[in-house]
Amino acid sequence: AEVKRDIKLRNCILDPFVHKSEKKKAVFATADKVKCSDLTKRFLGLIADNGRMEKLEEIFSAFKLLVASHRGELICEVTTAKPMDPSMKSTLEKVLQGFGKGEKQLHIKYKVDPSLVAGMTVSIGNQFIDMSAVSKIEQYREILESEL
């Protein structure tokens, strides 16, 4: 979370010209500031030593999914072109609960992205379902180009 808030840290991590030892120092300073455990600091050091700091957000996202799964939670992100009305959300929640087979507590995060044009994308656990109009348009474009 600190990586998203601290612009200097983010720029340092993503800059390919900053040496990995400097990235490691910056991450350790932030880890000390937010009082990370020694184990977490060693893990961050390993990521820095292996030159993978630019993958830090992806690593954290994957870790959050693992922790949620261990707790019996199912994390879901729904992105729509327009805000959903409450009845549509309720219907969707019932459908998504089926993915957890009723055993897992469902946590849904809703987002709006007008670039989808219409429809939605759903990320649930390690699955991604794209029902957006923009992806369908792209599929049709590829079909038309392959026919020519």
Residue 86, token pair as written in the block: 């409450």
Tell me: the pLDDT tens digits for 87-111?
999 988 888 887 766 667 888 899 9
- The whole-number pLDDT of residue 148 equals 65
Share of the chain above pLDDT 70, in %: 93
80 band by pLDDT with thresholds 50, 70 and 90: very high
Residue 74, pLDDT above cutoff 90: no
First to last CA, the chain: 48
C-beta neighbour count of 75 within 10 angstroms: 19
Nearest one of 21, 43, 20 to 31, comparing CA atoms: 43
pLDDT above 60 for 1 = no
Is the entire prediction scored with pTM above 0.75?
no
Taking the domains of the chain in order of start, what are their residue ranges? 2-65, 72-147
